[in-house]
Amino acid sequence: MGALVVVLFYGSILFCIVFATARLIRIYRLPLHIKWEFYRDSSVYEQVEWWTKPQIGFWQKAGAMMLDVLFLRDYYDKNRGFWIYLYTFHVGIYLLIVWHAWLFLVAPFVDPETASSVGLFLGHVATALAFVGGLSILIKRATDEELSVYYPPIHYVKWVAMLLTLASGFYAIYFYFNNETPALLKYVQSQVTFSDLEHKLHPPPATATHVLFASIWLVYLPYSHIMRLFLRYYHYLHDDEVPNVRGGEMEKRIGELLGQQVSWSAPHIQTGKSWAEVATTPAPKNTSKEQQAK
């Protein structure tokens, strides 16, 4: 059983890395899109000869992205009743990331007996925020008709799994490690340095349970909203508001895409020709279709 936990845990890490990388590559390879932005404020198009004026730059976009991600700004502006629960949960998750980073960075290099217990406190605060936020979201999702209307059942399972993961983490630290920083750091140290294989192959139920739940999350991660955020912001930073200037990189990319061969088969499209050929060739004269007859 212990060995199975080890295999599942390291297997899930491998799975997460491989499939997340594959998804990132797929996102990276998605083609440039037609300009389809919208605006929350005045744009360069308000100016005469706008093409001679500076457009929104990378750092301006990156700043907006950071505000979105760190504060869930759109939820705050447009759905504050839900934002309070989401934000509690997300702050908890952000702090959990910091907490785990602290654990894995401190454990191998600092004497566990002298390490600050502030880290442990941070872990409890993070867990509590994520748990309270997650539970609130689950309850709200289940009881609010608007939030539940199209919410697939599997997502409720996801939230329950999240709460169990958090609870099992808290249980392991509070009861198995007696809420003591040195004991916890020694355990993490032995895990990351592979210095206690016996312990690794025969983990105690408290840590094994938490590791198993963590494995589920690692498998889910490549399909989670984190990837969707990457899809959203990668292309936002890379392509949005980037002008197409003559002889520029954007023009080169557009030229390649105009050469794509299309297979749409409606009568007004010459199937098999390139995108540019179809757009510059008049449609065949008889494009009236039975479906359009009135």
Partner 1 sequence: MNEKRRALRNVSKNGDQSLGQVKREKLLSLPVEDAKAGAPPIKALSEKQRQTYEHAFDGVCAVAIPKPKSKEEEKQLVERFLAALQKLLTKEDNWTFLQQLILTLDACVQCQTCNDACAIYLASGKEEIYRPTYRSEVLRRIIKRYVKKGGNLFAALRGNDIELNWTTIARLAESAYRCTMCRRCATHCPMGSDNALITRELRKLFSEELGIAAKELHESGTVQQLRVGASTGITPPAFADIVEFMEDDIEEKTGRRIKIPVDKEGADILLIHNSGEYLSWLENPAAFAIIFDAAGISWTLSSELGGYEGTNYGVWYDDFQFGRIALKHIEIANKLKVKKIMIGECGHSTKATVVISERLLVGDMNIPRESCLPLLEELVLSGRLKLDPTRNNFPVTLHDPCNMVRLMGIIEPQRRILRAICPQFREMEPHGVDNYCCGGGSGFAVMSPMNFPDWKMNVSGRMKVKQILDAFADSMDPSIPKYVCAPCSNCKGQLRDLLVYYELTTRHGIYYGGLVELIVNAMADNKQPYISFEEM
Enumerate residues 224-263 that contact partner 1 by CB under 8 A.
225, 228, 231-232, 235-236, 243-246, 250-251, 254-255, 257-258, 260-263
Q: Residue 204 or 255: which CB sits closer to partner 1?
A: 255
Please say whether the beta carbons of 261 and 274 come within 8 A. yes
Q: Residue 138 or 173: which CB sits closer to partner 1?
A: 138
Closest Cα to residue 165, out of 153, 157, 175?
157
Binding window for partner 1 (CB under 8 A); candidates: 112-120, 152-160, 168-176, 189-197: 152-160
Binding window for partner 1 (CB under 8 A); candidates: 38-46, 93-101, 109-117, 163-171: 38-46
Is residue 58 close enough to count as binding partner 1 by CB under 8 A? no
- Integer Cα distance of 46 and 43 in angstroms: 6
Is residue 48 close enough to count as binding partner 1 by CB under 8 A? yes
User: Residues 25, 36, 143, 198: which binds partner 1 (CB under 8 A)?
Assistant: 36
User: Residues 13, 24, 44, 84: which binds partner 1 (CB under 8 A)?
Assistant: 44
Binding window for partner 1 (CB under 8 A); candidates: 66-74, 88-96, 160-168, 190-198: 66-74
Rg (CA), the chain: 26
Q: In the range 6-35, which residues lie near partner 1 by CB under 8 A?
A: 30-35
Q: Which residues of 27-36 are buried (b: 16+ CB within 10 A; e: fewer)?
A: eeeeeeeeee
Please say whether the beta carbons of 259 and 275 come within 8 A. yes
CB atoms within 10 A of CB 208: 20
Q: In the range 207-226, which residues lie near partner 1 by CB under 8 A?
A: 225
Smallest distance from the beta carbon of 102 to partner 1, in angstroms? Answer: 29
User: Residues 154, 178, 194, 198: which binds partner 1 (CB under 8 A)?
Assistant: 154
Please say whether the beta carbons of 137 and 116 come within 8 A. no
Residue given tokens 């297997």 in the structure block: 11
Smallest distance from the beta carbon of 164 to partner 1, in angstroms? Answer: 18
Is residue 280 close enough to count as binding partner 1 by CB under 8 A? yes
Closest Cα to residue 93, out of 77, 109, 72?
72
Provide the terminal-to-terminal Cα distance of the chain, rounded to the nearest Å: 69
Please say whether the beta carbons of 170 and 206 come within 8 A. no
Is residue 84 close enough to count as binding partner 1 by CB under 8 A? no
